[in-house]
Chains A and B, each alone.
Chain A
Amino acid sequence: MNVNRVTQSMLGDRSMANLQSGLKRLADLQEHLSTGRVLNRPSDNPADAGSAMRLRSSLRAEQQHARNADDGLGWLNTIDSSLQTAGDSVRRARELALQGANAAGGPQAREALATEVDQIRAGLLSTANTTYLGRPVFGGTTMGNVAFTDNAGVVTFTGDSNPVNRTVADGVVVNVAQEGTAAFGTDADNVFAHLSALSAALRAGDTAGISTGIDALAADEKQVVVARADIGARTVRVEQATTRAGDSELSLTNALAEIENADLPRTVVDLKMQEVAYQASLAATARVLQPSLVDFLR
């Protein structure tokens, strides 16, 4: 500005304007420090604000995926331990059948074996009806409380085959349920029917029946093991997804902080510098506004 004449009020106005802008810069830095963010409203940097909102939404999606995966792991672990128990039970029943096939025992010994097989069957039924948070884990999406119902000695599958899906990453959906029939056999040909038949054969001393039972149980055990392996594989997928979700949560948080958060040391240094500048302009204003010729004319 080409200044020809300087007046007192011009000095005053300019000093005020300079003090104001100094104070404004101080207030901005103060806001950055007190909120810890450089991005407090969209207009501070519209492009960054858009990125921040997108990052925040991805971050929330990753957190949600981790929560879904945790829930899924609960299902998978429950199924895994149930299947382990079921496998042990079926193996034990097969051992009993092998003992029974050995003709050494008399009717009483076979009766004892048959009783134990009955108990194993009852235990296996309860294992097959294991629940997680009130839902039978082998029952799919059934509204009922059990996956297998015992109707006068005949066990039928009352669940359904719908998957129980958990979204563990963007576009990655894992079924965390195990279909009951795949692990325990279809109706009339399931492990419970085999155990009932075995128990009857043991009581009757029906060697052919016992040996059929042994074969059937061997197939059942294999079925359980296959189901367990499948569950194991899915557990690994979910766990990997959890790890990935954790990793990307970390990197997203970093990216968000980079855009949004104030660089603390720099902000503090800037604040200090602005403070010095503001004090200097205060001092200068005080000096400039005071003197005029009035002070020197006597």
Chain B
Amino acid sequence: MTGTFSSVSSALSALRYNQVVMDVASGNIANVATDGYARRRVIGESVGAPDKPAMWSRYDGHGDGVRVGSLDRMVDPLLDLRARREHGNQSFLDTRAASLARIETGLGEPAGEGISAAIAEFGASLHDLSNHPDTSSVRTQVLANAQGLADAVAVQRRNIEAEEGDQRMALLADIDETNALAKDLAATNEAINAARLSGTDASALLDARDSMALRLADLTGGTAKENGKGGLDVTVGGVDLVTGNKAGRIDVASGVAPDGTADGGPLVLTATAPGGSPTAVTGLRGEIGGEVTLLTVTLPGLRADLQGFAQQLADSVNAAHQAGFDAAGAAGVPLFGVDPAAPGGPLVLLVSDPQALAASGIGGGPNRDGGNAKALATSLSGPERAYQQLVTGFGVAVASTRQQAATQQNLTTQVDGAREQLSGVNLDEEMVTMMQAQRSYEAAARVMTTLDSVLDTLINRTGLVR
């Protein structure tokens, strides 16, 4: 279009365009520290000839200014996918590492007041009993230290049980959060679709959508993919959790009661697709995956190991104790029992009378022999070695989990860094954009002034002779 005012309208388009550029830059600057914000970029395009030639008219202009072509949100879906996967693995490993580290601190090994210290004290008092089998204070001391050993084992069992309780509570909380997030994401998907249809800028909604999908990946390791309407569909353990504007849910089918206690059954999680029926899911990652692995494999395994140690200790000590004779010359009775259900279990001290300790290795009546007390002390060495192996094995497991988490952290940091490179706001860049826009705006305004004076010449001065 060529005409008197065409340049004015070109200048006007430049004024409008640069205003948008400055708006977007100021929006970027305002959100420089906002979590989940992806920077926007205005893509301008020049306005020129129409792309369809018309039959009876001909475009004879030289460009009609500029317009906002699109407002790009600087994200890479592939990177987002990668980030969600790495975050899922990261929180899986972090959950495990944190839990194992807590139990490890509770062990009090190698130098603390743990089970090995209790075994040592029990052993020392047995040697004392061997040296002074007729001293009743020594006998009382042996029983006190035997109870101390049972208590030390019970403390570890309670440690593991407390950790299991914590993990069950965390699992319930995480599942609640997952279900709430799934609903929110479904609602956001719908809003994005509506915004697209009405032509509104959906960038803020897309930011929210990506943040929710990332958090869902953190919680469940669920995978997300775009559904063609701008929304994200999330799949957890092979079951659709979010499809378009509909959300499914995850539930605990058995294993954990609603109040967070164990209900005795095996831990089973189910996922329900929108409009579907509950399906048992396994192999989750993320925090929930970590909690499920801890609750089904790691912690019960530790508890079984501890109980196995208690059983070995009881068997070994009882065999030695039953080979001896107590203060009255009667054969020894079992000293320890194993009862995982007892309040002070799994190791339970069965003997309460100090005189019933079978210190003597010689039967046939009361005597002052201490030979069997020595045998009792020796019988501790097998279980002690087993316990040392248990601790070493656990230490290896903790160290390797921590190592895996640290390695994964490097990967996660790297992927997050790559996303930040693309999506992060750089203040210098925004300032430069602002300055450019400002200068362009000033230039366009000057174009107006120039055109104004040109028109002034045309309208007011044409034909005038001074």
Residues of A within 8 A of B (CB): 1, 3-10, 12-14, 17, 37, 39-47, 49-50, 52-54, 56-57, 60, 64, 67-68, 71, 133-135, 141-143, 160, 162, 164-167, 260, 292-294, 297
- Residues of A contacting B395 with CB < 8 Å? 41-46, 49-50
Cα(A5)–Cα(B427), bound, Å: 12
- Residues of A contacting B398 with CB < 8 Å? 41-43
Known: A6-B426, A50-B392. A1 touches B414 (CB 8 A): yes
Let me know if B131 and A166 touch, CB within 8 A. yes
B367 at the interface (CB under 8 A from A): yes
Residue of A nearest to B384 (CB): A57
Let me know if A162 and B424 touch, CB within 8 A. no
Known: A7-B420, A43-B104. A53 touches B425 (CB 8 A): no
Known: A8-B32, A143-B368. A294 touches B427 (CB 8 A): yes
Let me know if B110 and A162 touch, CB within 8 A. no
Let me know if A260 and B111 touch, CB within 8 A. yes
B105 at the interface (CB under 8 A from A): yes
Let me know if A42 and B110 touch, CB within 8 A. yes
Tally of contacts, chain A with chain B, CB under 8 A: 160
Let me know if A10 and B420 touch, CB within 8 A. yes
Residue of B nearest to A65 (CB): B127
Known: A50-B391, A64-B123. A4 touches B109 (CB 8 A): no
B432 at the interface (CB under 8 A from A): yes
- Residues of A contacting B388 with CB < 8 Å? 50, 53-54, 57
- Residues of A contacting B381 with CB < 8 Å? 57
Let me know if B435 and A297 touch, CB within 8 A. yes
Let me know if A5 and B424 touch, CB within 8 A. yes
Let me know if B367 and A160 touch, CB within 8 A. yes
Tell which of A49, A60, A68, A167 touches B120, judged by Cβ atoms closer than 8 Å. Answer: A60
Which 3 pairs show the lowest CB-CB distances between chains A and B?
A42-B395, A7-B424, A46-B395
Known: A46-B399, A64-B124, A64-B127. A10 touches B368 (CB 8 A): no
B421 at the interface (CB under 8 A from A): yes
Residue of B nearest to A67 (CB): B127
Tell which of B111, B368, B384, B428 touches A39, judged by Cβ atoms closer than 8 Å. Answer: B111
B107 at the interface (CB under 8 A from A): yes
- Residues of A contacting B417 with CB < 8 Å? 1, 3, 10, 14
Let me know if A165 and B374 touch, CB within 8 A. yes
Known: A39-B111, A64-B127, A292-B427. A49 touches B392 (CB 8 A): yes
Let me know if A8 and B431 touch, CB within 8 A. no
Known: A39-B111, A167-B127. A10 touches B421 (CB 8 A): yes
B422 at the interface (CB under 8 A from A): yes
Cα(A42)–Cα(B120), bound, Å: 18
- Residues of B contacting A297 with CB < 8 Å? 431, 435
Residue of B nearest to A7 (CB): B424
Cα(A134)–Cα(B131), bound, Å: 13
Chain A nearest Cβ from B149, distance in angstroms: 14
User: Given A40-B111, A143-B134, 15 other A-B contacts at CB below 8 A?
Assistant: A3-B421, A8-B424, A8-B425, A10-B421, A13-B420, A41-B398, A45-B395, A53-B109, A53-B391, A53-B392, A60-B123, A141-B367, A141-B368, A164-B369, A167-B374
- Residues of B contacting A134 with CB < 8 Å? 134
- Residues of A contacting B132 with CB < 8 Å? 71, 133
- Residues of A contacting B369 with CB < 8 Å? 141, 162, 164
Cα(A17)–Cα(B409), bound, Å: 11
Tell which of B109, B414, B431 touches A294, judged by Cβ atoms closer than 8 Å. Answer: B431
